[in-house]
Amino acid sequence: MYNAKMEISKILAPLIPGLEPNQIYDMLEVPPNPEMGDLALPCFKLSRILRKSPVQIAEELAAGIPADENIDRIESVSGYLNFFLNQNHYIRQVLCHIMESGQAYGSSDIGKGKTIVIDYSYPNIAKPFHVGHLRSTSIGNSLYRLYKFSGYNCVGINHLGDWGTQFGKLITAYKHWGSKEAVQKNLIKELVSLYVKFHKEAEKDDSLNDEAREWFLRLEQGDEEALELWQWFKDISLEEYQQVYDLLDVSFDSYHGEAFYNDKMEPVIQKLKDKNLLKESEGAMIVDLSDEDMPPCLILKADGSTLYATRDIAAAIYRKKTYDFDKCIYVTGVSQNLHFKQWFKVIEKMGYEWHKDLYHVPFGTVSIGGERLATRTGNVVLLEDLLNKAIEKTLEIIDAKNPHLENKHEIAKQMGGGAVIFSDLFSNRIKDVSFSWDEILNFDGETGPYVQYTHARTCSLLKKAEESGVNAEELEFDSSLLNSKEEYQLVKSLAEFPEKVSQAVEELEPSIITRYLVNLAQAFNRFYHNHSILLEDKELKHARLTLVKAAKVTLYNGLRLIGLHAPERV
């Protein structure tokens, strides 16, 4: 693929001793003002290597660069070497590559032969799928798509929270206050209601906690009634979760949750013993991490029951044996940083060299009006409710603007869900998010629907051209006709896409793509509003339609990478 930045890096390399093209590539930057050039090389760092002033270096490089078809002119300004590209050559190279690549534009094969395991979403069985789960789900789904687009074999795992003392509490609540009819009628909402009631009643009667511990012990020991209730709660939950995943267009390769590893922890505990890593502390068994300046990693409680760390270690070993991953990524909240550091270190102490291939991808917390989400207090917003409300609002907008639109319910679903996902992925993942109905359902400005509308606009233009006898798939175009500021800026924005994909993969940051799409949509709309496209002038029409087609391809590819649909009509 044509990459102007790389071409200039290769031109400069023979003139800068001690630097490889890839090092020069990293130094090149885009000037803040297009009038200062398309690319610039700041020469300040080079002064230490070449023992000359930045101004002198820039002037000497400008004089020494041979004529090249990629470059129109070069200017040396205050220690910067500014490159003005040959616009005609650049535009033709970029647009031809996009047209030839189609839905592969921006993809690569850097991950060929490598496997990435991504652990994301992980809702807790018998608890609501609320907005707090959206972050892990949307970030993980986008990372899965980004890695797959980059040639990796991807394995998406939904590590369900389907085990633990909460099931003892829920069974206790069901036995005291529940009924089969109420659960069958209200499903998870009834289970949540029972769970909340348990905590309220347990504050008044502590014996309920003892009863809950007894039920969980019976569950761990394989008690038939306890297992039957647990499986029933799990089946109800999975059926409801699938409705949410369908709205989000998210799928997984594995649903192995915590319960799957019940019979896989004993070998882990035995290996820890064999390595003399387990120590007793107040009746519990721990791995001492004081030499790493961390609290101990708790492996077994005093009563012999296992913990999250025990299961995570067992799961990582199972995944390495099953998938032989090159990288295993865990998409969870920033509050779990210490937990992952601890058990990653335990994996290292157990002698597994692949400990370095384990990555925690943290994200900021989600709150409602500054208060943290908590199922036990009922302070949650159900994700399905949010998605349905976004879909309803989208349908209202469609009815107002285009009431006769075909498949408008499906399109409303795609755009409503897209608004929610896009809003979640727009900020850097590490930032905290304060949930707001008004903000998440605002479709104006830098939003998913804005980008989706722009994609639909490109489709509409191409369809109108096709109806007039122009086949956008077989366009011949004269790139020299695309000589306006808006056209050139749009091409430059289109050319950034492969690098943005690479950057998003490297930094594990989907928001890079989300923000890029807003910038691309804005560049397209400036071009659209300033220039007629379906003209009488055949050659200019074909050139501009090629630009429209390239924008459509890139918007589509980018939207799919963050988990959004790209509707052709809205």
pLDDT score of 344? 98
pLDDT score of 473? 76
Which one of 5, 127, 492, 549 is the catalytic residue? 127
Tokens found for residue 517: 């799409």
CATH class of the domain whose range is 115-263+309-377: alpha beta
> Is the domain 4-85 a CATH 3.30.1360.70 member?
yes
- b/e map of 331-365 (b: 16 or more CB within 10 Å)? bbeeeeeebbebbbbbbebbebebbebbebbbbbe
Residues of the chain with pLDDT under 70: 367-380, 435, 437, 441
HEC secondary structure over 493-552: HHHCHHHHHHHHHHHCCCHHHHHHHHHHHHHHHHHHHHCCCCCCCHHHHHHHHHHHHHHH
DSSP helix/strand/coil, 98: helix
Bridge partners of 74, per DSSP, are: 83
Instruction: Give the number of C-alpha atoms closer than 13 A to the C-alpha of residue 172, restricted to the C-beta side.
Output: 26
Distance CA 120, CA 140 (A): 5
Which one of 5, 133, 169, 256 is the catalytic residue? 133
**Smallest Cα–Cα separation from 513: which of 463, 555, 469, 550?**
555
pLDDT score of 160? 94
pLDDT score of 393? 87
Distance CA 456, CA 450 (A): 10
Residue with tokens 């093209």: 21
Where along the chain do the CATH 3.40.50.620 domains lie?
A: 115-263+309-377
Most distant pair of Cα atoms in the chain: their distance: 86
pLDDT score of 380? 63
pLDDT score of 274? 95
Where along the chain do the CATH 1.10.730.10 domains lie?
A: 398-427+437-561
Where along the chain do the CATH 3.30.1360.70 domains lie?
A: 4-85
271 is known as an active-site residue: no
Tokens found for residue 390: 């976004």
pLDDT score of 206? 92
Tokens found for residue 167: 């099931």
pLDDT score of 302? 86
> Is the domain 398-427+437-561 a CATH 1.10.260.40 member?
no
pLDDT score of 373? 52
133 is known as an active-site residue: yes
Cα three-residue angle 315-226-171, rounded to 5 degrees: 100
pLDDT score of 401? 85
393 is known as an active-site residue: no
DSSP H helical ranges for 187-250:
188-204, 207-220, 224-248
pLDDT score of 372? 59
The CA-atom distances, in angstroms, between 480 and each of 56, 85, 101, 160, 537 are: 35, 13, 22, 56, 14
CB 120 within 8 A of CB 156: yes
